[in-house]
Amino acid sequence: MLDRAIAVADAGGLGSLTMRSLATELGVKPMALYHYVANKNEILDGIVDRVFGEIELPAAGGQWREEVSRRAESARSVLRRHPWAISLMESRSAPGPATLRHHEAMLDTLRGAGFSLAMTGHAYALLDAFVYGFAVQEAALPFDRDAAPEVVAGIAAQLPAEDYPRLHEYAHERVMTPGYDFGDEFTFGLGVVLDALERSLRDGDGEAPAPGTSPAR
């Protein structure tokens, strides 16, 4: 039943997932659902946990960087498949078993790599902020990947070029350029994050570095 709920949301967005539409999907009357579930909220909790369950877990014995990287890529593709899940994550209160298992595995990988408890918290928060935030951006894109140049050209044409010179520059000389793919920003950002974590592990024994006080400043 949760599978069908996810399928409905995938097909028509979260707004199209109603007790009535789900019942129809299952060939049953709306009220029959209440035999399996206390209310709609429980369904939402359930599908969020299932989405979490779709994300690849980091392997216990592997190299932390590789495992964390693979898991981040997996999370990204899962959230691209189920973009409605992002808005749901904000409002859920009770994490399900798949969610807990997932967090446990990530903490274990980071702790096992030698990160201190504090640094593990920094690392996980940063990683997931990036992953979730990237998913939000991808979900908000007005174009779907291949159509980017045309769509952006249409939008840019609406904007007075003299008021928004930088937006025009970026639209014309970057987005509308062959080979542009917003998805590439994920690779770049994830690399930045992983590099920083790796550096902190080497320099500080897993302790937090003090950003902004490095020689780079």
| DSSP string for residues in 146-192 | GGHHHHHHHHHHHS-TTT-HHHHHHIIIIITSTT--TTHHHHHHHHH
Q: Measuring CA to CA, which residue among 55, 61, 117, 47 is closest to residue 80? A: 55
* Interaction of residue 151 with its own copies, rule CB under 8 A: no
* Interaction of residue 143 with its own copies, rule CB under 8 A: no
159 binds, among DNA, its own copies, none (CB under 5 to 8 A by kind): its own copies
Q: Would you say 28 or 147 has its CB closer to its own copies?
A: 147
Please, which residues have CB within 8 angstroms of residue 6's CB and are 6 or more apart in sequence? 47, 50, 51, 82
CB 182: neighbour CB atoms within 10 A? 14
Q: Which stretch binds DNA (CB under 7 A): 34-42, 84-92, 147-155, 160-168?
A: 34-42
Asked if 9 contacts 47 with a C-beta cutoff of 8 angstroms, the reply is yes
Q: Write the single-letter amino acid at 128.
A: D
Q: Measuring CA to CA, which residue among 139, 134, 127, 82 is closest to residue 102? A: 127
Q: Measuring CA to CA, which residue among 100, 75, 89, 11 is closest to residue 45? A: 89
Binders of its own copies among 25-54, rule CB under 8 A? none
Q: Would you say 26 or 172 has its CB closer to its own copies?
A: 172
CA 205 to chain centre: 29
87 binds, among its own copies, DNA, none (CB under 5 to 8 A by kind): its own copies
* Interaction of residue 7 with DNA, rule CB under 7 A: no
* Interaction of residue 34 with DNA, rule CB under 7 A: yes
* Distance of closest approach, residue 35 Cβ to its own copies, in angstroms: 25
Please, which residues have CB within 8 angstroms of residue 25's CB and are 6 or more apart in sequence? 4, 7, 8
Q: Would you say 18 or 63 has its CB closer to DNA?
A: 18
40 binds, among DNA, its own copies, none (CB under 5 to 8 A by kind): DNA
Among 6, 64, 134, 206, binds its own copies (CB under 8 A): 134
**Which chain residues interact with DNA by CB under 7 A?**
17-21, 28-32, 34-36, 39-41
**Which chain residues interact with its own copies by CB under 8 A?**
83, 86-87, 89-93, 100, 103-104, 107-108, 111, 117-118, 120-122, 125-126, 128-137, 139-140, 142, 159, 163-167, 169-170, 173-174, 182, 185, 187-196, 198-199, 202, 208, 210-212, 214, 216-217
